[in-house]
Chains A and B, each alone.
Chain A
Amino acid sequence: MTIVDDPQTRPGGDYEHGRDHEHNPSADAPERPIGFGRLQRKEDPRFVRGQGNYTDDVVLPGMLHGAILRSPVAHARIVSIDTSEALARPGVRAVLTGKDLEPLKLAWIPTLSYDVQAVLATDKVRFQGQEVAFVIADDRYAARDALELIRVDYDILPPVIDVRHALDAGAPIIRDDLEGRTNNHIADWDCGDSVATDAAFAKADVVLKQEIVYPRVHPAPMETCGSVADFNRVSGELTLYVTSQAPHAHRTVIAMVSGIPEHKIRVISPDIGGGFGNKVGIYPGYVLSIVGSIVTGHPVKWMEDRSENLMSTSFARDYIMTGEIAATKDGKLLGIRASVLADHGAFNGVAQPTKFPAGFFNLFPGSYTWEAVYGKVTSVYTNKAPGGVAYACSFRVTEAVYLVERMIDRLAIELNMDPAELRLKNFIKPEQFPYDNKAGFEYDSGQYEKTMRHAMDLIGYDELRKEQAEKRSRGELMGIGISFFTEGVGAGPRKHMDILGLGMADGAELRIHPTGKAVVRISVQSQGQAHETTFAQIVAEEIGIPPEDIEVVHGDTDQTPFGLGTYGSRSTPVSGAAVAMVTRKVRDKARLIAAAMLETRPEDLEWEKGRWFVKGDPSAGKTIQEIALAAHGTMELPEGVDGNLDAEVTYDPPNLTYPYGAYFCVTDIDRGTGKVTVRRFLAVDDCGTRINPMVIEGQVHGGLTDGVGMALMELIEFDSDGNNLGGSFMDYLIPTAMEVPDWETGFTVTPSPHHPIGAKGIGESATVGSPPAIVNSVIDALRPLGVTAMDMPCTPARVWDAMQGHATPPI
């Protein structure tokens, strides 16, 4: 194991593993840590008073309201649109159609994957819920009323809904807007070594093949997407309040799309009511609010309703995977193949780094050593909503981990081997890091066996197996499911990773005021992750100013340095590193000033948290607050210091970070109804250095709940006509407090060797790690009935079918 060099940031020895929240943490917590540790959130006082400021809370003088007319059908040619009646209605200021946008060159905009997407349909509609017209009216109700008065004549076309037939000869061509397009194929991609994998399979005792479907789900944050655009016709300046996880990237893209120069655009992402990847893309509604403001000369607000959110904005997953695994009869893993058919919907709007058209699916070899691996992904168009790579998934890591963890359990069944033992036998060992996973990614650090055994101890694995045996003898269905995941987060090194040509680095600026209070400005945007707290803690840890004296500024492009935003668990790995580095830069500057103050040489000074002092004479020192005052004062500053105490950096990560974890799920299944109850769930995570254990625990809990949703409840389903059957919360079921257990969590600490503070990121770990643990648990419970595989979601009806031997894929 490699640990970070800086003793200031190295976790203490007693901090290496443990269990979160053993009884009452607030009773034990130290008073307000200056640095890392449990600390109440700086965000909370405004939120518990209802003083958050979300996009829909923004009200500007003279503001108008927009509403979008959407296609009721999945595939149709637009014959005509008649807006006259809507326009005549009192309170309506304007009605826009695709034809109005064409002269502005705004009918189509680039997607995040070098495709184009219609803002308002001009030729055809390509999915149910696609944007067709935009009404701007005096208030929310008037805008909605006018939608009813727009007449659209559609010439219905046969849709492509079943992704398995999207590439059939004779399938309707969805993207006939693209020149020369003769099929629905988007891209082929592969990784690993197919020849070596064939050789590994050839010498295996056991070879298994299994189709594993990760169906379409939706991030569905509690706050839907929306924007308020305010274009000033005199100054040419646009202020856009928008539900954005990436305000700087959005500003750049909006400049490219709209022709408004970037320096005239200010993007403000106020408080965000949850993102989960849903607020990474640029949606037609955002563009329409901008156009609406330009056209009317008033600020224009657009907020989608819940059905619009579920039917038109970024979905997640939709991967039909086939896994093949090869092993010796005593359980030594030899090779794994993954073959994927990916449904990208009607426009290829997947958010992922340019050179990674299948995201980081390269992580499908998981946490194990193989002789060889090979993966390939084919993506296609269908008549469904575009988007993809959303829902807390680290760019397809979710799918990759689900595949390998299901395959490992499938092999354990075949070998009649304990699934924990099979994993322990094949883990990458600590001394093998940095580890080339044979699919193109280099894992930074891990102590997989230690973490796995810690989890087995915490859950009482052996006792659970005994309990299960007793229950099985009585005919009861109890399952124990395991998932051991390795994630790759913190995209990423700019020479390899960009989105639309924007390198994935992040900036940070730190200013220490004369009185020793600080402001740090960051490029990422919180959607609930507590950046205002944890980033202040990073500064505090590095320079010794208490977190309450540090203000974190984010979410406003006029106030913060450029960077690519918050998604793929990249805030702490990239922006957190930037904050640590900028603080160290300020600390170095403070050293020069302190040396001048103490009339000694900088190299004769030593740092302890909060002050520089003379080596061997701890009483001779200057606190950071004293240094800050001096930096702004009248003393003669040393060479190389031109006054003030501030700095800025841009951090380009050398590699991804690789958090990992061992998850255990205990389920009980009602034999009479097929209902699955998650009785216990233990998550033991290793996210490297832990900044705020309370926040980490919260991030894990939320991800586990997402996992229960996907594994047991959530599904965006379509009928054969392309009608979205998951278009409201009546149909798209999200876990409530009744469906989830009291989470159990634990941790180990294996710092990232290349990250300045050793942190790896935690935001998406549990969403990635939990679905396979739950589904493996369901399958384990159903083993006495001969079940060896079943796809999500494990609803009572689908489990019942599996119990009768009729398990079917959801799509």
Chain B
Amino acid sequence: MHVTMTVNGDEVERDIEPRVLLVHFLRENLGLTGTHWGCDTSNCGTCVVQIDGEPVKSCTVLAAMADGHAVRTVEGLEVAGTVDPIQQGFMEEHGLQCGFCTPGMMLTARALLDENPHPSEGEIREAISGQICRCTGYATIVRSIQWAADHPAETADSTLEDEDVKA
């Protein structure tokens, strides 16, 4: 089948098997390997991407279901050579070790901060509770997200959101 979607601001079109999962479409058809796969059961969240700004587990979404929507992956967080505050926060506060869960964590966190710019610790923990990190013990991920909340980007975010909406 034929799918058309916007990925990180670029329109992409592909012919695919109807059963192809979005995570495999992103990784294997588009070569965007920053989105990872970690379980078969929607428990681990290493595959989280945003569809129209909402975090979703891309192992549980058919690529066909993303047809006509805007997908944002970790590769789309950095804009014009400037990292998103959430990326900076993870570096500042040691929010990652092996890096495997990190893209999914950052996309969930970005969506949280877009909706709630000043979340409490409890709100942050709840937001990432559908995702597993085996390395960090979560406290530094919480601090990373708090860092990003304390250091919002001036304009980059709003610009990107506008682009997403247009797409």
Tell me the A residues contacting B by CB distance below 8 Å. Answer: 26, 40-41, 43-54, 56-57, 59, 139-141, 220-224, 271-274, 276, 305-307, 527-530, 694-695, 697-706, 728-730, 734, 736-738, 740, 742-743
Assess whether A729 is in contact with B91, with CB atoms less than 8 Å apart: no
Q: For the complex formed, measure the closest distance between the CB of B97 and the CB atoms of chain A, giving whole angstroms.
A: 3
Closest to A272 in B: B98
A-B contact pairs, 19 of them (CB 8 A): A40-B91, A40-B92, A44-B91, A45-B91, A49-B75, A222-B38, A701-B138, A701-B139, A702-B134, A702-B135, A702-B136, A705-B137, A730-B41, A734-B134, A736-B138, A737-B126, A737-B142, A742-B139, A742-B142
- Least CB distance from B22 to A in Å reads 14
Selected contact of A50 from candidates B41, B98, B103, B142, CB within 8 Å = B103
Q: Contacts A26-B93, A50-B33, A701-B139: A306 and B134 contacting too (C-beta < 8 A)?
A: no
Whether A56 lies near B37 (C-beta < 8 A) is yes
Q: Answer whether residue B83 sits at the interface, using C-beta atoms and an 8 A cutoff.
A: yes
Contacts of A307 in B (CB 8 A): 40
B28 to chain A, nearest CB (A): 8
Asked if B71 is at the interface of the complex by the 8 Å CB criterion, the answer is no
Please tell me if the beta carbons of B38 and A223 are within 8 angstroms of each other in the complex.
yes
Interface membership of B73, Cβ < 8 A: yes
Question: How far does the Cβ of B87 sit from chain A's closest Cβ, in whole Å?
Answer: 4
Nearest CB in chain A: distance from B35 CB, A: 7
Please tell me if B32 contacts chain A, counting CB pairs below 8 Å: yes
Instruction: Kindly name the residue among A44, A47, A222, A702 whose own CB sees the greatest number of chain B CB atoms within 10 A.
Output: A222
Question: Considering the chains assembled together, what is the distance between the CA atoms of A57 and B74 in angstroms?
Answer: 15
- Do B137 and A743 have beta carbons less than 8 Å apart? yes
Beyond contacts A47-B96, A274-B98: 13 other A-B pairs, Cβ-Cβ < 8 A, are A26-B92, A50-B73, A56-B27, A59-B31, A141-B17, A221-B98, A222-B36, A223-B36, A273-B36, A273-B38, A697-B94, A698-B97, A698-B140
B43 engages A57 (CB within 8 Å): no
Asked whether A528 and B121 contact (CB < 8 A) given A50-B75, A728-B39, the answer is no
Give A272 to B99 CA distance when docked, in angstroms: 9
Residues in A whose Cβ lies below 8 Å from that of B137? 698, 700-705, 740, 743
Asked if A48 and B91 make an inter-chain contact with CB atoms under 8 angstroms apart, the answer reads yes
Question: For residue A47, which residues in chain B have a CB less than 8 angstroms away from its CB?
Answer: 96, 99, 102
Question: Are A49 and B97 CB-contacts (below 8 A) given A737-B141, A738-B129?
Answer: no
Q: What total count of A-B pairs have CB within 8 Å?
A: 178
Q: Which residues from B are CB-within-8-Å of A740? A: 137-139
- Cβ of B119 within 8 Å of any chain A Cβ, yes or no, is no
Which residue of chain B has its CB nearest to the CB of A50?
B34
The CA of A305 and the CA of B43, in the complex, are separated in Å by 13
Residues of chain B lying within 8 A (CB to CB) of residue A59 = 31
B-side contacts of A44, CB under 8 Å: 90-91, 96, 99
Q: Is B156 an interface residue (CB 8 A)?
A: no
The distance from the CB of A139 to the nearest CB of chain B, in whole angstroms, is 8
Checking B17, B87, B121, B130 against A736 with a beta-carbon cut-off of 8 angstroms, the contacting residue is B130
Q: Is B58 an interface residue (CB 8 A)?
A: no
Q: Taking the complex as formed, is B50 at the interface, i.e. its CB lies under 8 A from any CB of chain A?
A: no
Tell me the chain B residues, 71-119 only, with Cβ under 8 Å from chain A.
73-75, 77-78, 83, 87, 90-94, 96-103, 106
The 4 closest A-B pairs by CB, nearest first: A50-B34, A528-B98, A701-B137, A273-B100
Say whether B132 faces chain A, with CB atoms less than 8 Å apart. yes
Chain A residues whose C-beta falls within 8 Å of the C-beta of B43 in the assembled complex: 728-730
Query: For A220, what are the chain B residues with a Cβ–Cβ distance below 8 Å?
Result: 134
Tell yes or no: B2 within 8 A of A by CB: no
Q: For residue B134, which residues in chain A have a CB less than 8 angstroms away from its CB?
A: 220-222, 274, 276, 702, 705-706, 734
Contact of B100 among A223, A701, A734, A742 (CB under 8 A): A223
Looking at A49, A54, A705, A734, which has the most chain B CB atoms within 10 Å of its CB? A49
Contact A222-B132, Cβ < 8 Å, known A26-B92, A52-B100, A274-B98: yes
Instruction: Report chain A residues within 8 Å CB of B138.
Output: 701, 705, 736-737, 740
| Chain B residues whose CB sits within 8 angstroms of the CB of A51 once the complex forms | 34
Contact (Cβ within 8 A) A306 B38? yes
Chain B: which residue is nearest A729 at the CB level?
A: B43
Contacts of A56 on B, CB cut-off 8 Å?
27, 33, 36-37
Task: Give complex CA distance A737, B40 in Å.
Answer: 20
Q: Any chain A CB within 8 A of the CB of B6?
A: no
Minimum Cβ distance to chain B for residue A244 (Å) = 14
**By the criterion CB–CB under 8 Å, are B126 and A738 in contact?**
yes
B63 is an interface residue with CB less than 8 A from chain A: no
Contact of A702 among B33, B40, B97 (CB under 8 A): B97
Q: Which of A46, A140, A222 contacts B98 (CB 8 A)?
A: A222
Across-interface contacts of B48 in A (CB, < 8 A)? none
Task: List, in ascending order, chain B residues with CB within 8 A of A701's CB.
Answer: 136-140
Cβ B106 vs Cβ A48 within 8 A: yes
Complex CA–CA separation, A305 to B138 (angstroms)? 24
Bound together, the chains give a CA A51 to CA B31 distance in angstroms of 11
User: CA of A697 to CA of B44 in the docked complex: distance in angstroms?
Assistant: 23
Q: Bound complex: CA of A41 vs CA of B94, how far in Å?
A: 8
Contact with A along B127-164 (1 / 0, CB 8 A): 01111111111111110000000000000000000000
Instruction: Report how far A272 CA is from B73 CA in the complex, Å.
Output: 20
Contact check, B99 vs A43: say whether CB atoms are below 8 A apart. yes
Give the distance to chain B from A320, nearest Cβ to Cβ, in Å. 26
Q: Which residues of the partner chain A approach B121 to less than 8 Å between Cβ atoms?
A: 742
Residues of the A chain whose Cβ atoms lie less than 8 Å from the Cβ of B91: 40-41, 44-45, 48
Residues of A within 8 A of B77 (CB): 48-49
For A222, list chain B residues within 8 Å (CB). Answer: 36, 38, 44, 46, 98, 100-101, 132-134
Across-interface contacts of B44 in A (CB, < 8 A): 222, 306, 729
Question: B97 contacts which chain A residues (CB < 8 A)?
Answer: 274, 528-530, 698-699, 702
Complex Cα spacing A742 to B102, Å: 19
A134 and B107 CA atoms in complex are apart in Å by 36
Please tell me which one of the listed residues B32, B38, B125 contacts residue A737 in the complex, with CB atoms under 8 A apart: B125
- Shortest beta-carbon distance from A774 to chain B in Å: 14
Are A52 and B99 touching (Cβ within 8 A)?
A: yes
**A49 → chain B, closest Cβ, in Å?**
6
Chain B residues lying within 8 Å of A530, measured Cβ to Cβ, are: 97
A747–B98 Cα distance when bound, in Å, is 24
A702–B31 alpha-carbon span in the complex (Å): 31
Contact A728 B41 (CB under 8 A): yes
In the complex, the chain B residue whose C-beta lies closest to that of A46 is B99
Determine whether the beta carbon of A729 is less than 8 Å from that of B98: no
The residues of A that contact B87 with a CB separation of less than 8 Å are 48-49
Please, which residues of chain B bring their CB within 8 A of the CB of A730?
41, 43
Residue numbers in B under 8 Å from A272 (CB-CB):
98
Q: How far is the CA of A271 from the CA of B140 in the complex (A)?
A: 21
A729 to B42, CA, bound (A): 9
Answer yes or no: B166 CB below 8 A from chain A CBs.
no
Which residues in B have their C-beta under 8 angstroms from that of A57?
27, 33
Whole-angstrom distance between the Cβ of A502 and the nearest chain B Cβ:
26
| B-side contacts of A276, CB under 8 Å | 134
Question: Measured between C-beta atoms, what is the minimum distance from B59 to chain A in Å?
Answer: 10
A48, A141, A527, A695, most chain B CB atoms within 10 A? A48
A221 to B132, CA, bound (A): 10
A273 to B103, CA, bound (A): 12
Q: Please pick, from A53, A698, A728, the residue contacting B136 in the complex, using a CB distance under 8 A.
A: A698
Complex CA distance for A51 and B87, rounded to whole angstroms: 13
Q: Complex: how many Å from CA A734 to CA B137?
A: 11
Q: Which residues from chain A contact B41 at a C-beta distance below 8 Å?
A: 306, 728-730
* Contact residue among A26, A700, A706, A737 (Cβ-Cβ distance under 8 Å from B128): A737
Nearest residue, chain A, Cβ from B88: A48
Q: Shortest Cβ distance from B83 into chain A, in angstroms?
A: 7
Query: Are B94 and A694 touching (Cβ within 8 A)?
Result: yes
Q: A730-B43, A742-B142 are in contact. Are A224 and B98 (CB under 8 A)?
A: no
**Contact assessment for B131 and A736 in the assembled complex, using a CB-CB cutoff below 8 Å:** yes
- Asked whether, in the complex, the Cβ of B24 is within 8 Å of the Cβ of A140, the reply is yes
B residues in contact with A706, CB < 8 Å: 134
Chain A residues with Cβ below 8 Å from B46 are: 222
Expressed in whole angstroms, the Cα–Cα distance for A728 and B24 within the complex equals 20
Which of B34, B77, B98 has the most CB atoms of chain A within a 10 A radius of its CB? B98
